[in-house]
């Protein structure tokens, strides 16, 4: 199973999607939790992320950090979740599990990041999904990417010996 990174702006539904994938039995890591950053949404702990990616082939990582590009080549897929700014701001105002986005300053940051950072994320993404879609549909699409690939077909016909013993 390949490694997948789910990235995007605050409020796109990354954590919700990750929760659904974990419920379905997949190994997930939410880099907004458990000390993956310095606590202020800064860069990922590179040593810790390197250890994770060196030991797990079957993980879905979620988050957006200024140094995520360092790890780009270690993910088979980078999925950008996106949604209109109005949707993002409404979601961060309503959510209860993450305090980020409640203040006017943070909401202005989200607006600015959507303009400045999201295009950079889009360029490195292998797939963009609309975060307004039902989480079950999004999880189905991610699961399709997690499915083991069938072995490559041998395009040349099998060789049979025509010699007799």
User: pLDDT 10s per residue in the chain (165 long)?
Assistant: 789 999 999 999 999 999 999 999 999 999 988 889 876 668 999 999 999 999 999 999 999 999 999 999 999 999 999 999 999 999 999 988 888 889 999 999 999 999 999 999 999 999 999 999 999 999 999 999 988 766 666 655 555 444 554
Which pairs count as long-range contacts for 91-98, CB under 8 Å and 24+ apart, including other chains? 91/11, 91/13, 92/10, 92/11, 95/11, 97/15, 98/10, 98/15, 98/32
- pLDDT value, residue 162: 47
End-to-end CA distance of the chain: give it in Å, rounded: 45
Q: What is the pTM of this model?
A: 0.86
Q: Measured in whole angstroms, how far is the alpha carbon of residue 63 from the centre of its chain?
A: 7
Distance, CA of 157 to CA of 162 (rounded, Å): 15
- pLDDT value, residue 55: 94
């Amino acid at each position: 199973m390949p490694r997948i990174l789910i990235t995007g702006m605050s409020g796109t539904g990354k954590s919700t999607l990750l929760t659904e994938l974990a419920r379905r039995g997949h190994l997930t890591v939410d880099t907004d939790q458990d000390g993956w950053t310095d606590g202020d949404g800064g860069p990922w702990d590179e040593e810790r992320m390197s250890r994770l990616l060196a030991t797990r082939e079957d993980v879905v990582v979620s988050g957006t950090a200024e140094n995520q590009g360092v790890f780009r080549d270690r993910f088979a897929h980078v999925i950008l979740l996106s949604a209109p700014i109005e949707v993002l701001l409404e979601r961060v105002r309503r959510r209860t599990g993450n305090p980020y986005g409640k203040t006017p300053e943070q909401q202005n940051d989200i607006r600015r990041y959507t303009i400045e950072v999201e295009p950079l994320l889009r360029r490195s993404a292998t797939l963009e999904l609309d975060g307004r879609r039902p989480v079950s549909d999004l999880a189905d699409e991610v699961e399709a990417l997690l499915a083991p690939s069938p072995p490559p077909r041998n395009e040349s016909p099998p060789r049979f010996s025509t010699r007799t013993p």
